């Protein structure tokens, strides 16, 4: 696996959407390539931050109402 292939599969890797064989191939590359490992860590951290910061709050009722007016 080269760096371009690894980077292209990182989002699916982070989300565990790859087969076991693909996961192992990406992990092997990450273990031997510090730049790709850094990119993986950054993407993983960003996804965790978004999930933590945005996953629990509901939109304010005023915003929900405005969206309903616009969409319907």
Q: What is the predicted pLDDT for the residue at 55?
A: 66
CA dist 45 and 39 (Å) reads 10
What is the widest separation between alpha-carbon atoms in the chain?
Answer: 53
CA dist 72 and 28 (Å) reads 50
Per the CB < 8 A criterion, the answer to whether 25 and 1 are in contact is yes
Q: What is the predicted pLDDT for the residue at 48?
A: 85
> For 10-65, what is each residue's pLDDT tens digit?
999 998 999 999 999 999 999 999 999 999 999 999 888 877 777 666 777 888 88
CA dist 9 and 59 (Å) reads 32
Q: What is the predicted pLDDT for the residue at 36?
A: 96
């Amino acid at each position: 696996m080269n760096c371009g292939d690894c980077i292209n599969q990182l989002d699916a890797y982070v989300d565990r959407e790859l087969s076991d064989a693909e996961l192992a191939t990406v992990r092997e590359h990450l273990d031997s390539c510090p730049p790709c490992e850094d990119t993986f860590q950054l993407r993983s951290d960003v996804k965790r931050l978004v999930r933590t910061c945005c996953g629990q709050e509901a939109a304010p009722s005023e915003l929900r109402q405005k969206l309903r007016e616009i969409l319907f």
